[in-house]
Structure 1
């Protein structure tokens, strides 16, 4: 009998030797000063595959193909690093799948240097404008050195502007190499000003001519004597802009003075002006021409108008007391012994007022002396008018503030605000248009006031002293500080406060002396405050009321002294 046992080969899974597959990415400079050098360290990754084999436990042979863990791996896409001034030939290395049988991967990303610009800007400081803006001087790859030629071209540009008449104030030094910032050009500035030179300018002549003619008779308008002529020559020095060629400044020779020219005597004739006074002549003075007329057979009456403004005189006035107003002068002619009347010049239109006029200025008789004219005088002063100006308001503010405690710095009560308005009345000279006086209306007096009482707090003063606001002041402000009430008074506190009162008395004596020499009322107010600070907190309202009355009297005296002192100062200022 045969019996059979059927067997199969036992199998066993066995892990094999791992297989490694790598990917290496190299980043290399291809151009520029770093050509051939690595940009960044190479990027290398290694992936591991582990095989599992099925082993026949009888034959010890591998059965079938191994299984791999993992069977494939996906390599991610890798972006190329960004390097300032350089451009990679690949923005990224693409991803890929690898298996245990894949070869190692090696890729290279090349970086090419970008082209950088060096520009120049030329600024004209004289005219405050840009002559050349961001003009390209040279180009080159990032990181490479500028050439000697670039430096020479830069120097040639500077020299070219010197040749045009500019002076170089400042110029930047060229960079040694091109930078790597492709977003902004490297710029150098050249600052220039216009060069100047001086030269002799054109001369100018001012001619003075005095003509002497007959004013009446058969020879009327004909020359009575040779004309007087004199020429005054002025030289100049010009400062010329080398760039524009324009004259930017001209300096002329000094002012000259003409001579006093007496009118020649002609028998039987009287000149209407005995002499021509000296005057100052400048390069831009117009040619001066004047005609002196000679009158024969007739007599001449000259009416002169004299401005005596500012002179406190109404009688015994002399022509030398003022200045003649030439445009009002009148010349009357007539037969000897004949009567004349004259309408005075309209001085009111020009803003003048009459002070005194000789009666012969309006009516009289021609004399019989052919050797001289008759001169009569009208004395005038400047008329005035009053104008009301814009009002001025001055604000006086008393702030009440917690000086300590939980509300320190906060207001105790609403600030007291008092305003005073002043209105100016101006006195205006009608001739010159100038303001010659100002009177202010409005009362700036502010009475003393009692400081509000706040339970649990002591103010640093009990009374706000009286004061006077004036229109020339700035807005006024002062602050009363409130301090939390102290602990009950001990013998030590009494001694301390006694010593403090002694100090206050000394300060009061000093303030009193200062007031006598003209110190402002606010210093006296400080004394009042210090006295109040030293008062024992007895709660005696009767004593406090007495103190307030006393301080009010002191403030009133202070206010009166300040007012009188201010009046004296204002009177002295007007004088």
Structure 2
């Protein structure tokens, strides 16, 4: 059987028989390794947390250790180690953990940038054109050393950053740099580590060469306003000055024509803004007055004197004129009366007065220089207000009005007031002829009325020598009985029948109404004719003519008169003799009946 002890150093192997034991030399090995600079990690050896983090995929102290086994016999510091009797001869493997003591270490590296500036041609060719630029950055790297072996961190540090910033080439009069700017340089941890591992520093060197040049410029000028067009062009997004250069490394500048490539664009822009090209001025130009014929000549090979050219312009103008009209309007309005606010007479509109003026307009500025107005003034004639019957105007005329081109339209309102006239007597209206009364509508078949109350029996008058007019008693107020059926006997019963004191229900009388307009009531007396009518009991109802005041006149249908419980008798047959009563008796009864009818009519009217 074998017992294997792994210590991250040469493996220790113990060999013995099953169920046997052997001396444990682990403590001796731990002591020897400690003397060589290793540090024993007892915690990890016993299956607990290691002193330092172990890389993933290596060892796991939780399961790979030298702690007590399940049978509590083998541990790293035991005196003897026991062999088991498993069929697997190599399953007793134990782990002892050590770590090394590390020493902090540091290293640095320097990176340097150098930019040189020299003349490439001209009288100073090869000489220094400007002071060189020197930049230095120092970087630091940290690590640990164990037994002389250093392990370095991946990252470097520098308080000033990891880049050399952009460097603009300095301006040298009459010379142009071949490079206007040296771009920034960014250093990486890999660049620094590579240089440090090779024990080398980092150097970045640049040379900027300057060449003398021939310069030419072109500007634009406004001769009308006597000002430069620089501000106007800049405000409108155009270049205010153009340049051309000769910067080749030779002496052929005098053979090279001067050209301003953006000049055509600017001239076209100015033309669109109503500027007119006039001429070109400058050393070597041809002074042309048409732009398509302009020539600026060649470079003059004189680096100390630049060539300047100017294009001159004037403003485009246009002949203009303007007119103005002045109107006069007069409205005629009713100021009062039934037509107040309405037009009293047609509106007067005078013929327009027109003024004209000529001038010259500056199409660049928009300003116009005007001549005097023609004519200077004019006049509207006077206007007499028209006459309107029965009205008077508050203005008899509108006077003549003088106007100028600055005058506004004239507007007047003439108000007409009604002339008041004395009132004339009113002619009374002719009375209209009263309408003929319409035939009453035949009443509908009434319902059977309640039995009327029996009237009191009149006192039978005696036969005096001189008849007197009997005074009938005041009849009871009728209870509006309905007319009786034609075949029913509605004649009061015998005078001897006692009065029925039972209160009977009132039945409304159906009175037909005419659909036509009511007949005007005449102020003349009204006559009523009461004629004799034979009743069912052979008594006679006498209808007489009654003259009443119109205020008490009320038309009643015959049925209403017939239905009254008061049976009017004009004649009474004596039972003994069969002869008629004397004329005085008849007259008395007629007057009594008349008084009853008048009382009933007046009472109904009041109601």
TM-score, with length taken from structure 1: 0.28
Higher strand share: 1
